[in-house]
Each structure stands twice: as C-alpha cells, then as structure tokens.
C-alpha cells in the first residue's frame, strides 16, 4: 500500500532471521526483553546470581530466576520457523470518495498500529502502553504526539538542523484534536501509560491530514489492548456554494464558509471544533448532522475490522477504589460537604475542601482504614529488580486541565486487602464532591455562586489602562479576568508560518494567550506556552478574525496578547471579549463586536431527582467544568457564530442537546454584548499617537526593482536618508512605507515617486540640474535616472549662438516636457516657462475667447489651433494631496493623546486614487 504501485508490496521472509518472542502476547506481559544468551544471565539459575546477591533481597532473586527460566522455556517452544502475518486492508466510503485503512503492515510490535490513506496523503499511527501501571491519579495517563514530516511533501526543514524539531503550533493543535475525543472513552482505573504517535508520511497538498489523523488514532486504539469503550472517527465538513462537503480538499476549503472538525462514535458526538463567518445556529446544526452521518459509516466499518483482527482488551488491569470507601466518605463528610459547596468565592471554597479532605483522611487513618506503612503491599515488578538510569525527559500529558481545579498528584499505591490507600481516599473524595455539586444544581436549581442555570456572572470592562500600548482592555466576568493588549506594526511584525507545503505564509493577525499560575493563586511552571495555552489562544484568534478589516483597508499587522490575571472558568471566552474591546481601543475598524461564552451540562439529571432531561448551564465556573459533563465554548454576535469548541466528558451527546445549548448560548452572548457596551472608559476607536504611520502607494510594477536596487542597496539608502522604519514592496506595485512621523514619509514618497515616475508630455519639473552641456543644447535631469535634452532653441526666448554661453554644468533650471519620441527620449523646453511665453499664451487665449463669441465653426478651429498653448500643468509633486479613498485622512489624536495635531499635505507622483495614509480615526 505504501510502495510504488509498479513494485510488489510483498514482504519476503528470510529463514536466517528468525525471531523468538520470549512470551506469547496474551499470556505474559513483561518489561524485560534481554536475551537469555546474554552473558549477564548465563547459568543464572546455577550461580544464584552472585554478582547481584549483594544488592537484591532473597525474594527478589527468586523472582528474577523465575523470569529468566520463563524466557528459556518459551524460547525452547518457539524454535521453529515463523511466517510473517499478512496485512489486512479495508476501504471505507467517506463523502464522495474512499479512504484506505491497513493494519499489520507497519509497526507490528506496537499494541495497535494502522495506516490510513486519502488520495496520496498517508497517516501512520501507533498505540503503545507501558507494561507496568503507573501510580493512580485522577486523570488517564495518555499522551499524543502528531508530527508532519517535511519529506512527506518532498521537502527538508528550512532551519540549520535538517530534521524535524519541537512541534509547531498547528501540530500541537492537532494533538489536542486527537486527544480530546479519545479520553472520554477510556475506562476509569486503567493506569498503564498509553502513548499515541502519529506521523504524516505522505502529503499530496489536497487531502488534509488532521481529520485523517483523528480517524487513524481511533482505529489504532480500537485494535489495541487498551480498554476503551467506543470506536472514534473524525471528519471535516465544509460549506461551498451553500452545499455541505465531507472531507473537502484544500482547494474547496479556500471557498468554504465553514471549517468544522467533528469526532464521535456511531451514536454520539464527542468533540466539535470549528470556525465560520457568522453562520446561524441552525445551519451549524445541519453541518453537525452531516458530519455525524459520515462518522457513523466509518465506525461501522471499523467495528467489523476490530472483530476480525483486534486484540483482547486488558480489562483485568482495571483497579478501582473499593466500593465500601464511598459509603465511609459520605458518612464522614456528607453534611459538611453540603455546607462547603455553598461558599460562593473560589479560593475560600477550595481551601475549605482541602481542609475537609485532610480531615477525612485523618479520621480514616485513626480508624485503621488507611495504612501508614508506605512499604506495605508494594507489588514487585521486573523494573524494580533492574533499575536503569535513564536521561530525564519531560512527560507531556494532553489532558485538559480545568481552570483552578486541583488535581491529585500520584503517590505510590499501597494497596492491601483490608486497607485503603491514600490515593484512593483522594480519588473517592473528589468523585463524591462532584456528585454533591451536581445534586445541588439539579435539586435546588442554584449553583455554587447562587445563579440560576441561565444566569451570567457580573461583567465589568474598561479600556485605555496602558498609556504606551496601542490598545488595551481589562475584561472581568465574575472571578475570571483577561488583560488584552493590542500592538500594531508593519509586515515585519507578521508571524511566519512554516507549513508542510513549500509556500511562505505570513499571519497579519495573531492572538497569544497566557495562563500564569498566579491567576489561580498557585505556584507553577513559567516558560514556553503549554498545549492548552496554544489551543485556547487559537480559539480566541479564530473567533475574532472575521471582524477584522481587509489588508487593503487596514494594512497593519495586529498582535493581541491575552494575559489571564484571574481565572475561575471560561478564560478563553474572556480573551475573546477583552480582545474585541482592545482592538477597538487600538483604532482597528472592526466590523462588529464579538463575545464568547462557555456552556456546561449535567447529563443524567434523573440520578439527582430531576426529570432526566439534560440541564444546560450558561457561563460555567471551574468547578462546574470539572464536575460537569460538557464544556461547550461558543463565540459570535447576535446574528451568528464565528468559533466554537465542544468537549464531552461522558458518553457523548445528541443533536437535540446541542441545539438547546447553542440557543441558550446565543441568549447569553446577547447579554454579554450589552454589558460590553457599558465599558468605562470606552474604547478610543482612534489610532494611538505611539502607533506607526503606514503610507500605501501604487507604482508601476515594472519599476519595483528600481526601488529595491541591486542587493537592496537603494531601498536601504532611502530608509537611512529619510528615517522611515521600513519600506515594503510587492510584485503588484504596492509600496508600504512605515514611519513614526509624517515628515520622513513625505521625504520617502518624494524619492520613490521620482524613481518610479513615468514622464508625461506637459509635466513641469522645477529646480532640475543640468548634467551636461553640448553646443546644440543641455541635458537636464528631471528625476533620478531620467534625463532629457533641452535644445538650444528651447533654452531662451532670445537667440543663443551656443548653449555654453548662458549655461554650465550644475546650474538648475525649470523645464517642461514637450515631447517623448518613439525611442523614449525626452525633449524639454525652458522657453515655454519664461514670462514672455506666458504672456503670448495669455494673448492667444484671449483671441480664442473673442472668436468663440462669433462663428461656432471658427471657434472650434481656433480651439484646435490653441491646443498646444494651454496653461502650464501643475506639478504633481508640489500640489497633489493624499487620496481619501483607502485611508483615514484626519490626522487627529484621541483625547488621551493630547491636543489635535495640525494637518500636513503629503505629495506623491503616483495616482491620487492609489495612495493612502493610514492614521487617524477608525
């Protein structure tokens, strides 16, 4: 499947390379994989391992002898030749084409591996798990790594090291897309560390690998021994010409109004994430339904494949806390837990819960239910017998960390048939707390902070906090707070994206999200952005992108920084609200205002006295996110949605539940937008005096190289001479000049205009230098690189015998262009600008006016006769003003910037309609 179609894909077997696995795959699981012929184990049983006897206890030595004997016995049984297993392939219809799924070809030693092919795009995904379980904790030990090999598109890395390095941001986002739908399907109590590795081996530029990677990971996990409940598949849905397309190509996505990634099972939706341009909720639900139908088809085919070649699930490895511990927990902490959950503020409630947890642990220890002996009941493994010092590596867990939620740090399990472990007590305490919180919401109809299910926390916002920043806003919603700062710049500030295809991509708008540990009152790591920060930042960025003006209308690069200064849920949506206000404060002419809200859910309400209907919660807090069943973030305005992201923590939700959540989210956004209009101080909506000036002008595309010069020397000299910050040229003739003041822009415009000018008959050029003198006339430089001949007959109104009698090199004169011949040579006239010539022209015009009062036909003839003696053409360099077509002409500052600056006219040789200066009111 992966080879060239012209070559055979059969794997040849060599009898000289037999492989004898030490254990059968289903009966034994051991981390030790050393050969029994290794000198370290030669005659191990007879020698009693004298070299290790000083380090190992007698019981450990006996177990190690048993392990080695098992190796020898298994090797004796499997001495015969083996045949290689044959790959299994299946075609699955997706949209208007098929994808090819193949297993048993690559990565046969992994617990599960698969290659998925769409067109010529190939994804290889493997699932492996640790033989020894890790310490229990309240999150599943799953890590996901997705990487795009440059060789997949026939490229190498553009960096110094010609190999792939740390994951890029878009790869991290795909890792999260893979992780989020898989994690809810994992059974509780399975603590074997699981790793999913996914590589793009081939990319054709048409079929996107991200949705394919979700499907590949779901299939590989279903084929493996990991005990998950459902098969997961993913698809992309686009909207082109009002028609939904499943897994559209990259060319189709260029015209699509929707980018929806959906993952789920044959019966429920587990994850959606997408971006659109103010799409109505009903249209979005229609797209979700089409995506769910496609996912159902894939899952049905995969289920048949799993029955054929899937491995038995490790259900016997699941270790859950003892059921009687739940009863003890409710008896000891039940009444006090009800009171603690009524505390409205997050930090006091968190401290009270921690204190109550310590109290429960102390009581159970005093009653003898929790063992104090840390070495009691430790299960021994081969890893304990052979300790190998390895290089420290950073372990990245992809699980979504709830904002402010305290996770249980793993401690060694000290299990005993008659005693509880400390970790089990903490796990049960957290589950009982979630149960009591859900019951309080369903039965009492009130949440921890006293709100109803549809209630929104108090909102406060202000702009202009940072005087030197181009734009700033502080948005506060309850105990969640975002400080958004906007910076404007030219193209040099744009974010360069190194993608899989050989194309340079620059982002002129990007949002960077930061979640420091201080925002939840904790101490933690500070450094590179985490996967969660990258994901939340991209969600807020894509939510705000549809309201930005086009580059032609606003040629700035825009950077938004959202620093979460306080968090209790929904900080990514606070970044959307704060970022929108900060953009307005920076003078960016946004199309409308955008708000975001996070929705939650309690699914099984019948368990807590409800009618069984799912309960939707608006504007959830951190505890409701941790204890609830859904986190559904929706951003947009009153008319439609711009971005959305949904994660499910239970067995998926149906389309009617999603419809209820979307409609309730729309009502919540309307309330938030109304509160944002009350912002005080309000956004200035004008460019700051500290923001750079950008002038946009249009020149002849053939003259662009003249501006750049050899090796960029000319453009560098213009920058040094005029003091501008940057000059950016494009192949279509667009030139952008960035500077801090208007005078430097005027100087650079004058130089560029002269360099790129196209001489026109009738133009007047003043104060031009004579470069050379000949007997028949002088050569005058009207602009850099443009010289013309002023014949001796055109130098003066009086007769001159020789040109050198009246002029010399270096003199400056005013001339008029009177002719451009077929070779492009310029003919100039000084005589046409002399006072005598002007008076003659005036008299000719007077005669023409007199004749006009007589015969009409004669006046037409006279008009033709006086055609070449029209008044002098106004110099465009002196008198042309900047156009108002694309620009903001009022050079005024905001009230915070001080008194209004005086207006200055800027001249340009280019067309008036093609020049603009971006500065002033948005």
Q: pLDDT tens across 37-70, in order? A: 443 333 433 443 333 333 344 444 444 444 445 4
Say which residues have a Cβ less than 8 Å from residue 616's Cβ, sequence separation at least 6.
453, 599, 600, 601, 657, 660, 661, 664
Are 692 and 918 within 8 A, CB to CB? no
pLDDT of residue 53: 37
Assigned token pair, 721: 């001479």
Taking only the tens place, the pLDDT of each residue in 429-449 is 999 999 999 998 898 788 888
How far apart are alpha carbons 207 and 663 in whole angstroms?
A: 33
Q: What is the mean pLDDT of the chain?
A: 79
What are the distances in angstroms from CA 248 to CA 119, 137, 240, 562? Answer: 12, 41, 9, 33
More confident: 898 or 586: 586
pLDDT of residue 79: 55
How far apart are alpha carbons 562 and 594 in whole angstroms?
A: 15
Assigned token pair, 311: 């491995």
How far apart are alpha carbons 33 and 396 in whole angstroms?
A: 26
Taking only the tens place, the pLDDT of each residue in 867-883 is 333 333 333 333 333 33
Query: How many beta carbons lie within 10 A of that of residue 497, not counting itself?
Result: 14
Taking only the tens place, the pLDDT of each residue in 30-42 is 333 333 344 333 3
Closest CA to 212 of 287, 152, 298: 298
How far apart are alpha carbons 433 and 340 in whole angstroms?
A: 10
pLDDT of residue 862: 37
Are 103 and 309 within 8 A, CB to CB? yes
pLDDT of residue 107: 92
What DSSP state is assigned to residue 431?
Answer: H
Buried b (16+ CB within 10 A) or exposed e, 245-272: bbbbbeeebeebebbbbbbbbbebbbbb
Are 568 and 449 within 8 A, CB to CB? no
How far apart are alpha carbons 209 and 504 in whole angstroms?
A: 19
How far, rounded to the nearest angstrom, does the alpha carbon of residue 490 sit from its chain's CA centroid? 21
pLDDT of residue 407: 53
The residue with tokens 């492996």 is 128
Are 622 and 403 within 8 A, CB to CB? yes
Assigned token pair, 636: 């947009």
What one-character-per-residue DSSP string does 315-328 give? Answer: GGG--PPPHHHHHH
The residue with tokens 């894509």 is 542
For the chain, what's the residue count? 922
What are the distances in angstroms from CA 773 to CA 616, 637, 791, 803? Answer: 89, 71, 10, 7
Say which residues have a Cβ less than 8 Å from residue 674's Cβ, sequence separation at least 6.
none
Assigned token pair, 467: 């005087």
Q: Is the dihedral of CA 688, 690, 691, 696 positive or negative?
A: positive
pLDDT of residue 4: 40
What backbone torsions phi and psi does residue 99 show, to the nearest 5 degrees? -110, 150
The helix/strand count (H/E) of the chain reads as: 20, 30
Taking only the tens place, the pLDDT of each residue in 103-148 is 999 999 999 999 999 999 999 999 999 999 988 888 889 999 999 9
How far apart are alpha carbons 368 and 420 in whole angstroms?
A: 9
What one-character-per-residue DSSP string does 126-183 give? Answer: EEEE-SS-----SS--EEEEEEE-GGGGT---SSSSSS--SPPHHHHHHHHHHHHHHG
Buried b (16+ CB within 10 A) or exposed e, 52-63: beeebeeebbeb
Q: Which of 283-292, 455-464, 813-822, 891-900 has the least mean pLDDT? A: 891-900
Assigned token pair, 659: 């419809």
Are 142 and 183 within 8 A, CB to CB? yes
Taking only the tens place, the pLDDT of each residue in 720-746 is 989 899 998 888 889 999 998 889 999
Q: What angle do CA 288, 291, 293 make, to 5 degrees?
A: 110
Instruction: Please state at what angle helix 655-676 crosses helix 281-309, rounded to 10 degrees.
Output: 140
The residue with tokens 């933690």 is 524
What one-character-per-residue DSSP string does 776-817 give? Answer: TEEEEEEETTEEEEEEGGGT-SS--S-GGGT--TT-EEEEEE
What are the distances in angstroms from CA 483 to CA 351, 469, 526, 597? Answer: 26, 12, 18, 17
Are 781 and 820 within 8 A, CB to CB? no
Q: Does the pLDDT at position 425 exceed 50?
A: yes
Q: Does the pLDDT at position 660 exceed 50?
A: yes
Assigned token pair, 379: 């299960």
Q: Is 44 helix (H, G, I), strand (E, B) or coil?
A: helix
Give the pLDDT mean for 884-911.
34
Q: Is 79 helix (H, G, I), strand (E, B) or coil?
A: coil
Q: Is 914 helix (H, G, I), strand (E, B) or coil?
A: helix
Taking only the tens place, the pLDDT of each residue in 464-517 is 999 999 999 999 999 999 999 999 998 888 888 777 765 667 889 999 999 999
If residue 635 lies in a helix (H) or strand (E), which one and from where to where?
strand 630-636
Closest CA to 117 of 13, 222, 253, 219: 219
If residue 747 lies in a helix (H) or strand (E), which one and from where to where?
helix 742-756
Are 203 and 121 within 8 A, CB to CB? yes
Taking only the tens place, the pLDDT of each residue in 295-346 is 999 999 999 999 999 999 999 999 888 888 999 899 999 899 989 988 888 8
């Amino acid at each position: 499947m992966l080879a060239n179609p012209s070559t055979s894909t059969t794997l040849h077997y060599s009898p000289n390379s037999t492989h004898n696995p030490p254990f059968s795959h289903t009966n034994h699981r051991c981390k030790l994989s050393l050969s029994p012929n290794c000198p370290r184990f030669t005659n191990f049983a007879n020698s009693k391992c004298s070299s290790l006897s000083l380090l190992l206890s007698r019981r450990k030595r006996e177990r190690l002898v048993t392990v080695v004997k098992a190796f020898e016995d298994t090797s004796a049984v499997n001495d015969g030749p083996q045949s290689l297993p044959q790959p299994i392939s299946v075609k699955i219809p997706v949209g208007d084409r098929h994808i090819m799924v193949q297993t048993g070809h690559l990565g046969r030693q992994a617990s599960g591996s698969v290659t998925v092919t769409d067109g010529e795009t190939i994804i290889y995904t493997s699932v492996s798990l640790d033989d020894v379980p890790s310490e229990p904790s309240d999150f599943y030990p799953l890590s996901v790594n997705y990487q795009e090999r440059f060789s997949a598109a026939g490229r190498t890395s553009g960096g110094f090291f010609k190999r792939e390095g740390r994951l890029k941001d878009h790869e991290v986002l795909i890792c999260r897309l893979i992780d989020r739908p898989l994690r809810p399907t994992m059974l509780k109590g399975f603590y074997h560390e699981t790793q999913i590795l996914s590589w793009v081996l081939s990319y054709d530029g048409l079929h996107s690998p991200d949705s394919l990677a979700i499907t590949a990971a779901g299939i590989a996990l279903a084929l493996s021994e990991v005990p998950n409940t459902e098969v997961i598949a993913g698809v992309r849905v686009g909207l082109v010409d009002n028609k939904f397309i499943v897994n559209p190509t990259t060319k189709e996505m260029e015209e699509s109004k929707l980018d929806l990634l959906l993952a789920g099972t044959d019966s429920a939706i587990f994850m959606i994430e997408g971006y659109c341009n103010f799409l109505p909720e009903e249209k979005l639900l229609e797209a979700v339904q089409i995506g769910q139908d496609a996912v159902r088809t894939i899952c049905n085919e995969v289920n048949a494949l799993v029955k054929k070649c899937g491995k038995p699930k490790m259900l016997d490895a699941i270790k859950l806390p003892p059921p009687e511990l739940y009863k003890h927990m409710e008896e000891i902490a039940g009444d006090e837990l009800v009171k603690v959950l009524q505390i409205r503020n997050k930090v006091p409630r968190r401290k009270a819960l921690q204190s109550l947890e310590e109290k429960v642990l102390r009581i159970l220890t005093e009653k003898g239910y929790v063992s104090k002996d840390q070495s009691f009941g430790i299960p021994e493994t081969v890893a304990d017998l052979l300790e190998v010092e390895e290089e420290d590596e950073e372990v990245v867990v992809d699980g979504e960390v709830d904002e402010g939620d305290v996770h249980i740090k793993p401690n060694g399990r000290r299990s005993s048939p008659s005693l509880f472990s400390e970790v089990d007590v903490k796990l049960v305490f957290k589950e009982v707390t979630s149960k009591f919180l859900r019951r309080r919401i369903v039965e009492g109809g009130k949440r921890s902070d006293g709100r109803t299910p549809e209630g929104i926390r108090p909102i406060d916002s202000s702009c202009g906090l940072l005087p030197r920043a181009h734009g700033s806003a502080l948005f506060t919603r309850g105990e969640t707070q975002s400080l958004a700062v906007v910076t404007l710049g030219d193209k040099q500030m744009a974010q360069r994206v190194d993608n899989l295809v050989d194309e340079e991509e620059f982002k002129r708008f990007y949002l960077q999200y930061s979640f420091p540990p201080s925002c939840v009152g904790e101490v933690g790591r500070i450094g590179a952005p985490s996967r969660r920060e990258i994901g939340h930042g991209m969600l807020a960025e894509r939510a705000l992108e549809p309201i930005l003006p086009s580059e032609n209308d606003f040629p700035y690069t825009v950077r938004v920084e959202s620093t979460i200064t306080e968090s209790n849920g929904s900080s990514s949506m606070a970044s959307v609200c704060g970022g929108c206000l900060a953009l307005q404060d920076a003078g960016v002419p946004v199309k409308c205002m955008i708000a975001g809200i996070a929705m939650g859910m309690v699914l099984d309400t019948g368990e807590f006295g409800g009618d069984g209907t799912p309960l939707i919660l608006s504007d959830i807090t951190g505890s409701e996110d941790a204890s609830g069943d859904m986190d559904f973030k929706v951003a947009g305005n009153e008319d439609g949605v711009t971005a959305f992201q949904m994660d499910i923590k239970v067995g998926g939700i149906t389309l009617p539940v999603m419809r209820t959540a979307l409609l309730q989210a729309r009502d919540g956004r309307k309330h938030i937008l109304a509160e944002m209009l009350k912002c005080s101080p309000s956004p200035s909506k004008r460019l700051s005096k500290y923001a750079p000036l950008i002038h946009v002008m249009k020149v002849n595309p053939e003259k662009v190289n003249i501006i750049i010069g050899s090796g960029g020397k000319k453009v560098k000299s213009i920058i040094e001479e005029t003091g501008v910050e940057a000059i950016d040229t494009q192949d279509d003739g667009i030139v952008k000049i960035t500077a801090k003041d208007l005078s430097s822009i005027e100087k650079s415009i004058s130089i560029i205009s002269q360099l790129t000018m196209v001489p026109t008959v009738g133009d007047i050029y003043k104060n031009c230098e004579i470069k050379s003198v000949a007997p028949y006339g002088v050569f005058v430089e009207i602009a850099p690189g443009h010289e013309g001949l002023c014949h001796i007959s055109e130098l003066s109104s009086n007769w001159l015998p020789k040109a050198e009698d009246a002029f010399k090199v270096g003199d400056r004169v005013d001339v008029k262009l009177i002719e451009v011949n077929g070779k492009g040579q310029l003919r100039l006239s000084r005589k046409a600008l002399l006072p005598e010539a002007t008076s003659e022209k005036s008299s000719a015009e007077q005669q023409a006016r007199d004749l006009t009062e007589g015969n009409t036909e004669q006046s037409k003839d006279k008009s033709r006769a006086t055609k070449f003696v029209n008044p002098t053409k106004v110099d465009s360099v002196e008198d042309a003003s900047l156009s108002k077509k694309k620009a903001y002409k009022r050079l005024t500052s905001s009230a915070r910037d001080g008194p209004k600056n005086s207006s200055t006219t800027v001249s340009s040789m280019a067309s008036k309609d093609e020049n603009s200066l971006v500065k002033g009111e948005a």
